[in-house]
Structure 1
């Protein structure tokens, strides 16, 4: 309308359509049409003021031409419902063709969906926060870093916490988004700010929220415990509503666009050192587009002293997780194994893991405490958690068997040593069985039975057991020639020396005088 007013002013001053066109204000044909309408309306009379813009618009625009009806109009309600559910345009087009015999192209569906979006613009509200009231947290995809020392190439993530009032932020590059990383980043962020905000707005990542819900979201137990320790409230965003934490979303984009380009990182530590320096020098001292102030200055002057003080003793981040106790009386946590009482085999147990300890709970009762293991495959076992039979087998090792055998007698000790000296078979259970016979028959009879088994060169568990069961240990064994060894000595069982053989021959031979 301002443009039309200019042309009308030139017409009222006496300029022709040719002069108006030559000045570049309007073409001759359009100026001629405007002059005709202005003459009919009496706008060219210099004694009368020009009409208001609303009157000019009503006369010059004229009645609108009726728009042609879209071929998709009969399916308007269905298309609108599908679009609100987030169904893709190609899927909507295929459903119309398949179910309703639609003959139009996908382009018609695409244009119709664009009209739906344009006809219902969404209005938003800018939220205001008090100093120290809210911090917003988010993760963003970071760069791939090649460690110049080890040559390892790994992906990274940005952890960003932005104070909603001052826009001052803490950022850190990490390797993953697991619960220990999430908790540790919060701790370092609070220490960076020197205080704790009243509320932390988070997305629905699994490290923070186990079940995303508009009304009743479920908070991860580890994160809830950290919030209690620091004294802040967790405020999850509704599902699919990232704009509820738009200030940290903008902070992540700012880091990606301003910090990352044209930088080289030698390692993760080097990247975080550069990031910390950039936050305190560049990001913190820029003029923010919304607050029109420097975030670092606004934080120092109006927000830092409002934050809640850090606790005297920082709560130790702990990871809670649910695990099943296997039949071997161990559960697996972070690729390591920890024992729990055998009576709980098959049950779900809560594990609370810190940097140094692993605590295992059953129905709120602490049932096991272990030192934290970090190398995959490591095992922490308490013998008190194992079944009695297994404990007995583990405790009665070869050294235990030898000590018990020596207490019983020399023959028993000799038999046990003979069992352990076997080159093929592991005779630990046989040795345990021999020692165990003392409980039923007594040490005296066991010692005698071992002596008889040794005499007959059969140092076996079944031999000793049979001797005791039949009472053969009570019988006096047949006299054995002194020239025969009483036990296995490393030589042949019935081996005799030449002197023994010749002496025996001289005793048994009667010499007769030679007839010559």
Structure 2
């Protein structure tokens, strides 16, 4: 109070607020408030005596409450208010006060303090959103029951719910996941269910729809943007953390959980969706809605009249994925492999997958098109995508080798056939090597070399190459070769009787 009295004396002597602020006696805002209080109390009159500190304190401090009216939790008011802002339950607050601060009071005292704090906080004002017929629909996922998956495990199902904002008519479908492909498929089936397309879809910021949530510039999934363009609707994502913006579908999901799922049994996913379809048409669509006070199916006729018509040809929806080209000239998608040109090995590409086909793009250029693989692990390849040496190897298969050998001659065909029918060793490369010798030595010399190798019962690549390199194919066959030296036949000069007879003459 001495400081206030000193400042008041300087004010009465004509000191300005700026001078007092520069002297650090008091801040300018506080000075303005104190000057107004002094003027109201009549303290600025220089002829009147200065008020004492007690008078100044009485004018500054609020009136004290009686001790009996002050809550024992008054010292914890700020702490309790912060916990309430964090949505901490009252029972947890009472336990924390007793545990950490030694509070001996009861829950009733805490309850009165909470009522007092909330009474001082003005309630947030809300404005219900109104929608014209056909203007918008709201979409969301909700947890469904657990069912037996086709792979044998028990999995959680998810309810896809699209609710028309004007009529409150719904489309409900239960699915196994929330992937982009499932999201797009549910949209297509919902539009076919309504036989029309809403002009705007209010959605949450799910990853299957929005890549980056933002209140001003959200980034839409590429596949979902194509879906909106194909069907003609506009995407309206809610601001992050502002679920009431799509309260209609939030209530619709809750209605499905509370009114459809309880006290029902489902054999499988198909049975679950069949029951959901009947429930929407026979129960949910025929009830009097609590907000519109009319039946959703009755208002739906007006809703559908203002919605967009279905396109003549349904858009071919696909999902986009970033993929990297492996060293084997293939990219992987859903555990299946698809070939791309070998010049793109190591690069990152974009893959677009539809229900029937896969398209691969590099810098906005289509580089590969494949049919969709039917099972995980399947390899879908185009031979032209492989390196030249690999193309040659796969092109020169067994059938090709036999065909080329027949064009060269009968001896070459017989030698190649013996090589390819080896029961122990795979000799396709050796057969290809023998046929490549035609480019160096010509078909006539290769045929002669194969004939000589067959006479020696040696159908090997090394034998044919040695004959050609040494020019032996140009030499006439000797008597020993003509007699099939290495061929099956008489192998011994003496007979068995002469060989084992001890009295036979020895030479």
**Does the TM-score normalized on the shorter chain lie above 0.5?**
yes
Instruction: Say whether the 8 Å CA contact 1:319–1:353 is kept in structure 2.
Output: yes
- 1:104: which partner in 2? 101
Q: Deviations over 1:243-286 (max 9, x none)?
A: 21111010111111111111122232222222112111211121
Q: What secondary structure, in the 3-state scheme, does the structure 2 residue paired with 1:243 have?
A: helix
Distance 2:104 2:426 in 1: 80
Distance 1:451 1:106 in 2: 109
- 1:387: which partner in 2? 387
Correspondences of 1:81-480 after superposition (within 5 Å): 104=101, 120=121, 121-146=123-148, 153-300=154-301, 302-480=302-480
Q: For the structure 1 residues 371 and 476, does the alpha-carbon distance in structure 2 shift closer, same or farther, using more than 3 Å as the test?
A: same
Distance 1:351 1:481 in 2: 64
Question: 1:201: how far off?
Answer: 0.9
Question: 1:146: how far off?
Answer: 4.9
Distance 1:381 1:422 in 2: 29
Q: Which runs of 5+ in 2 are unaligned?
A: 1-65, 499-504
Q: What secondary structure, in the 3-state scheme, does the structure 2 residue paired with 1:125 have?
A: coil
Q: What secondary structure, in the 3-state scheme, does the structure 2 residue paired with 1:160 have?
A: strand
Instruction: Say whether the 8 Å CA contact 1:197–1:232 is kept in structure 2.
Output: yes
Q: What secondary structure, in the 3-state scheme, does the structure 1 residue paired with 2:480 have?
A: coil
Q: For the structure 1 residues 462 and 182, does the alpha-carbon distance in structure 2 shift closer, same or farther, using more than 3 Å as the test?
A: same
Q: Which runs of 5+ in 1 are unaligned?
A: 1-61, 503-508, 510-516
Q: Deviations over 1:98-155 (max 9, x none)?
A: xxxx9636999x97999877754433221111111110000111112358x9987543
Question: 1:347: how far off?
Answer: 1.5
Q: For the structure 1 residues 479 and 368, does the alpha-carbon distance in structure 2 shift closer, same or farther, using more than 3 Å as the test?
A: same
Q: For the structure 1 residues 63 and 232, does the alpha-carbon distance in structure 2 shift closer, same or farther, using more than 3 Å as the test?
A: farther
Q: Deviations over 1:180-229 (max 9, x none)?
A: 22111111111222211111011111211122222222111111111001
Instruction: Say whether the 8 Å CA contact 1:454–1:487 is kept in structure 2.
Output: no
- 2:11: which partner in 1? none
Question: 1:446: how far off?
Answer: 1.7
Q: For the structure 1 residues 421 and 339, does the alpha-carbon distance in structure 2 shift closer, same or farther, using more than 3 Å as the test?
A: same
Name the TM-score, length of structure 2 as normaliser. Answer: 0.74
Question: 1:450: how far off?
Answer: 2.3
Name the TM-score, length of structure 1 as normaliser. Answer: 0.73
Distance 2:477 2:256 in 1: 95
Q: For the structure 1 residues 450 and 208, does the alpha-carbon distance in structure 2 shift closer, same or farther, using more than 3 Å as the test?
A: same
Query: Could you say what the CA RMSD is over the residues aligned between the two structures, in angstroms?
Result: 3.7
Distance 2:328 2:115 in 1: 61
- 2:491: which partner in 1? 495
Q: For the structure 1 residues 70 and 179, does the alpha-carbon distance in structure 2 shift closer, same or farther, using more than 3 Å as the test?
A: same
Instruction: Say whether the 8 Å CA contact 1:141–1:158 is kept in structure 2.
Output: yes
Q: What secondary structure, in the 3-state scheme, does the structure 2 residue paired with 1:132 have?
A: coil
- 2:484: which partner in 1? 485
Q: Deviations over 1:9-50 (max 9, x none)?
A: xxxxxxxxxxxxxxxxxxxxxxxxxxxxxxxxxxxxxxxxxx
Q: What secondary structure, in the 3-state scheme, does the structure 1 residue paired with 2:189 have?
A: helix
